[in-house]
């Protein structure tokens, strides 16, 4: 059997946990009913499973089950939040604030709205990847209807101060949306204490299935209005039509429950492995850590290696480790990372970045092997460039 590389691209996607798969399997064949078919047993079984999953996901973020809207993933949830708010509140204002380091699933809908006459403020970040809260507050205007700030960055893992952002937004009566695709199950999320009005989530970053996500939409204090972007059937209170995919929904809830159950111990384990990897790599000169050193996801390590081409480094690492240079959603492009450019990096340094995404199924032995191979590869590439 051929050797497979060590998987350290867990921000792109994760291997499904066997416990999640076990929870899903009965809903493919035995309990296969449509949860909207409430006139017979098959539909009742599916409806009950969806209801239980909805409750689990709501409890995970301290919401109510009626505030959970199922989508096909975080990309759709982001589009529904941003475009849905823009359409529902355009009479109040046409100004939206977001951040330069957001995922393209936020940036692209915002750019689309610009073409329709909305004005978008793209806030800069500080060199550590965090936003300046005073700049956020100054950017809010009487016609601002929405602020969208990512909870955890998908490239550099930086955790934005959600509670402080939520406080500012609510003081100015502006809605606050956060893309928490990378954060759910990895940090504590509380929509009440953080004053979050809309939150996008997905399952496949936490060992759940691909193709299922959630948009949390606040119903009280304030009651948030969004215009549906998919019509037909009136599912999900008319906000997102389409037959609910029961196995995926069950899997999402199981993945979140497991992640929260193991959050503290897993965070500590990932931190230890990440520290070991960084301590090993940082012994080489001209290696830079991208993003805040501590206010970041425990499994994220994003580095830039001066004097080494990032593509060549990934190719050199490939037989031993599977990593990426940044967002999996834009990895096919040749442009340098917009996130690293926003940190103030030069294009050459941005091109030399590597993102290590450590996860549940990695071991310290694997990390040691990766560290040794990465050091040897970097030294070899630098030696070759001199020659």
pLDDT score of 255 more than 90? yes
pLDDT at position 2 is: 54
Choice among 16, 227, 329, 341 that is catalytic? 329
pLDDT score of 153 more than 60? yes
Instruction: Let me know whether 252 and 269 are in one domain.
Output: no
Query: For all residues of the chain together, what is the average pLDDT?
Result: 95
pLDDT score of 329 more than 80? no
CB count in 10 Å sphere of residue 232: 8
pLDDT at position 335 is: 79
Instruction: Let me know whether 179 and 267 are in one domain.
Output: no
CATH (domain of 154): 3.40.640.10
pLDDT score of 1 more than 50? no
pLDDT at position 328 is: 53
Is 371 part of any domain? Answer: yes
Is 387 part of any domain? Answer: no
Is 145 part of any domain? Answer: yes
Percentage above 70 pLDDT, the chain? 96
Tell me which residue range forms the domain holding 326. Answer: 6-15+263-381
State how many domains the chain has. 2
Instruction: Let me know whether 248 and 275 are in one domain.
Output: no
E-strand spans in the chain?
6-7, 68-71, 95-99, 119-123, 144-148, 175-179, 198-202, 213-217, 287-289, 300-305, 321-322, 353-357
Would you give the DSSP letter of residue 100?
T
pLDDT digit string, tens, across residues 101-142: 999 999 999 999 999 999 999 999 999 999 999 999 999 999
Token pair 């700049």 is at which residue? 135
Active site residue 329: yes
* Section 64-78 average pLDDT: 98
Instruction: Let me know whether 253 and 180 are in one domain.
Output: yes
pLDDT score of 251 more than 70? yes
Domain boundary among 260, 295, 322: 260
pLDDT at position 311 is: 86
pLDDT score of 385 more than 80? no
Instruction: Let me know whether 103 and 243 are in one domain.
Output: yes
CATH (domain of 317): 3.90.1150.10
**How buried is residue 112: exposed, middle or buried, by Cβ count under 10 Å (0-12/13-18/19+)?**
middle
Is 34 part of any domain? Answer: yes
Instruction: Let me know whether 44 and 60 are in one domain.
Output: yes
Domain boundary among 211, 233, 260: 260
Give the helix/strand (H/E) hosting 77.
helix 74-89
Residue 351: both structure tokens together = 């091109």
Is 376 part of any domain? Answer: yes
Domain boundary among 202, 228, 260: 260
pLDDT score of 314 more than 70? yes
Instruction: Let me know whether 167 and 310 are in one domain.
Output: no
* SS3 state at 99: strand
């Amino acid at each position: 059997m051929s050797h497979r590389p060590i998987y350290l691209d867990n921000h792109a996607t994760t291997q499904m946990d066997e416990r999640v798969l076990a929870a899903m399997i009965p809903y493919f064949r035995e309990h296969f009913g449509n949860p909207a078919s409430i006139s017979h047993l098959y539909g009742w079984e599916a409806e009950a499973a969806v209801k239980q999953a909805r409750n689990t996901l709501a409890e995970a973020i301290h919401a109510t089950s009626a505030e959970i809207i199922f989508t096909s993933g975080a990309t759709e949830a982001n589009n529904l939040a941003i475009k849905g708010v823009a359409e529902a509140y355009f009479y109040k204002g046409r100004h939206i604030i977001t951040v330069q380091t957001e995922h393209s699933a936020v940036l692209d809908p915002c750019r689309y709205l610009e073409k329709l006459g909305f004005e978008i403020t793209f806030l800069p970040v500080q060199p550590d990847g965090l936003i300046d809260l005073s700049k956020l507050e100054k950017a809010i205007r009487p016609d601002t209807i929405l602020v969208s700030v990512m909870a955890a960055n998908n490239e550099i893992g930086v955790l934005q101060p959600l509670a402080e952002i939520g406080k500012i937004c609510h003081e100015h009566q502006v809605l606050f949306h956060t893309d928490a695709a990378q954060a759910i199950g990895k940090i504590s999320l509380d929509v009440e204490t953080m004053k979050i009005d809309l939150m996008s989530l997905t399952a496949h970053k936490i060992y759940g299935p691909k193709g299922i996500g959630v948009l949390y939409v606040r119903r009280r204090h304030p009651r948030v209005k969004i215009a549906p972007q998919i019509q037909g059937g009136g599912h999900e209170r008319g906000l997102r039509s389409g037959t609910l995919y029961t196995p995926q929904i069950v899997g999402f809830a199981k993945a979140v429950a497991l992640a929260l159950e193991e959050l503290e111990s897993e965070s500590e384990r990932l931190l230890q492995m990440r520290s070991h990897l960084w301590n090993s790599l940082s012994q080489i000169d001209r290696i830079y850590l991208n993003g805040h050193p501590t206010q970041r996801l425990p499994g994220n390590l994003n580095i830039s290696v001066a004097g080494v081409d990032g593509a060549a480094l990934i190719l050199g690492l490939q037989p031993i480790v599977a990593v990426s240079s940044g967002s999996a959603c834009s990895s096919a492009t040749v442009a340098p990372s917009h996130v690293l450019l926003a940190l103030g990096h030069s294009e050459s340094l941005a091109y030399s970045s590597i993102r290590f995404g450590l996860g549940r199924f990695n071991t310290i032995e694997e990390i040691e092997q990766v560290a040794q191979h990465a050091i040897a590869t970097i030294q070899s590439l630098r030696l070759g460039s001199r020659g």
